[in-house]
Structure formats: C-alpha cells, structure tokens
Amino acid sequence: MSDELNSIDESVRLIVMEARRPVAIDPEARRRLAEALRAEPAPTRSSRVLSWFVEPRPFALPPFTTAALAAGLVGIGVLTGIALNRDGRAPTEQPRAVAASSQLPDSVAPRAIKFVLVAPQAARVSVVGDFNGWDSAATPAKREADGTWTTYVPLRPGRHIYSFVVDGTHFVSDPSAPIAPDDGYGQKNSVVVVAGASS
C-alpha cells in the first residue's frame, strides 16, 4: 500500500498521513452505543420477506415511498423558503440589501452605482470597497424615511469588491449581490460588475 503513496503528490501525502491519525471520540458516545445494543433484541437470521428493509443498501428509498417522499421534501423546501428572508436568514432586524444596479450604456467613464441597504436599526451605514480603500468614513449612506440607507458611488466599468459597514464596526455583505468569498478575514464581501467597454 505504501507504494501507492509514493506515486502521489507530496502535499497530498501529508494530508493522507495526517488524516490516518486516530480521532478522539467521546467515551460517552461509546457508552450510549453499548446501551442501545443491550436494548436490542438478539439478531437472528431474518426471513426473506423483511430482507428489503434490513439489508444494507446504497442510499435509496423503498420504491413505493419515493414519489410521496419526494413530494414531501419539495414541500419542506418551499415552506422553508417562505419562512426565511431572501437571503436565507430568519426574519429579524438583520439588515438586508437591494441589488446594486448598473445604470448607463457603454463608456469607460465612471458611472454612479446605487447601493441600498435595508437597516432600520442602524445608526449609520457606509459602503467600503476596493474603490475607497475600505475606508468606512469615505462613503457614508443616507438614511431614508423607511429605514433604508442609500448612496451613489462612481465606479469605473469592471469588477469591484465591496461591503456595507453598519455602525462603524459591523461588516455586512450585500445578500442580493454575488458573493466575493472570505479570503481570510472572516466575512464574505460582495461583487459588482459595472457594465461598459472596460479595458
């Protein structure tokens, strides 16, 4: 078996060696299993009639239940969708944002991009991103009567990364924009691609 390891990349080999190490399992879990086994009737050779239900199978449902269960699962999915906000979080005072929209037809000049965040509880909101050095003081948003915060930012055509900052400290990505994944700082950001003849 170790010959096979020689043929794989060194970094993968490191991963394999580490992953082969034993893991710590809670002795409590072991005890629970022992108890559960004690409560079971002693196994015997079972008859063919029951065989479908007890024989280990690749993950699959008994045929006659599949359709019903599938329908049920779809129902669960839809219900969950209704119970949550668009961004999947439970309805609380969590801020949510409306899509940043790209506005005007082609040119290389910057165009004003509108950023909106719904955050009625916030005391102040700003937009930060690669266009303003992530400076939370640079681009404050203005609060509207309905608790939404709006600002316009001139952005050149192309890809820009941004986030909202609520009350100076709380970084909130735009739930209705494409995700710019967390690169190590612990929060994801958002992407806007401004249309135009970018170079």
Partner 1 sequence: MKAHPGRLASALLLTLMLASGASAQEGRDPLMRLERTARYSVEVLMDSARLMGLPTRPIESKVLEGLSKNASPRLILAVARNVFRSLRDARAALGPKATLDELDAAASALRVGMTQSELGQLGRSQHGKLLTVPLVVLVDLISRGVPRDTASQTIFQLWQRGAADDDFLGLWRGVERDIVSGADPGAALLNRARQVPSREPPPVSPPRPE
Partner 2 sequence: MSDAADVQRVLSGDVDAFGRLVDRYYERCARFAVRMLGSRDDAEDALQATFLRAYRSLGKYQERDKFSAWLYRILVNQCRSIAARRNQRERVFVREEAVLLNAPDRTPNWTGEESELVQRVLAELDPLLREAFLLKYIEEMSYEEMSTLTGVGVSALKMRVKRACDRLRARWEYIKDE
Confirm if 177 and 110 have CB atoms less than 8 A apart: no
- 130 binds partner 1, rule: CB under 8 A: yes
Instruction: Of 83, 77, 73, 116, give the one whose Cα is nearest residue 98.
Output: 116
- 30 binds partner 2, rule: CB under 8 A: yes
- 71 binds partner 2, rule: CB under 8 A: no
Confirm if 167 and 95 have CB atoms less than 8 A apart: no
- 171 binds partner 2, rule: CB under 8 A: no
Confirm if 138 and 165 have CB atoms less than 8 A apart: no
CB of residue 47 vs partner 2: minimum separation in angstroms?
9
| C-alpha of 15 from chain center | 26
- Name the H helices within the chain: 2-6, 10-19, 27-38, 51-54, 63-83
Phi then psi for residue 167, to 5 deg, are 55, 35
**CA gap 134, 131 in Å, rounded:** 8
Tell me the window of 5-13, 19-27, 51-59, 81-89 that interacts with partner 1 (CB under 8 A). 81-89
Question: Interaction with partner 1 in 180-199: which residues (CB under 8 A)?
Answer: 180-181, 183-189, 191, 193, 195, 198-199
Residues in contact with partner 1, shown as a per-residue x/- string from 82 to 121 under the rule CB under 8 A:
--x-xxx------------x-x--------x-x-------
Q: Which spans of this chain sit near partner 2 (rule: CB under 8 A)?
A: 1, 4-5, 8-9, 11-12, 14-16, 18-26, 29-30, 32-34, 36-37, 40, 42-46, 51, 54-59, 73, 76-77, 80, 84, 87-89, 181-182, 184, 188
